[in-house]
Amino acid sequence: MHADAFAATQTSDNTTTMELLREVAGLLQTSGLPETQLMPAAASFLGQTVMIQSSNAAFQDAFLVVCGIFLIALVPTWFMWRAPSSGT
């Protein structure tokens, strides 16, 4: 879900994406990668970056869901704690 949302924003119309590809290709060129492999390697780097960011966003969403469930579970716990004990 997150990977699709992030990947949809990575188009040739996105100036930030194109700048990243140019910068990565430049770094790869200075490291000695052949000209024919610059853009495929830069695109692979972009894909890995998108996957890392989408995994991070999914983890954050899962954490918020667990936090919400915990907070909801506190409500009945508070009522049980406040209830007078019977028989003691």
* For residue 85, pLDDT beyond 80: no
End-to-end Cα spacing for the chain: 53
Confidence of residue 84 (pLDDT cuts 50, 70, 90): confident
Name the percent of the chain lying above pLDDT 90. Answer: 70
| 8 A C-beta contact, residue 4 and residue 47 | no
Residue 2: the pLDDT is 83
Residue 74: the pLDDT is 95
Structural tokens at position 5: 């949302």
* For residue 14, pLDDT beyond 60: yes
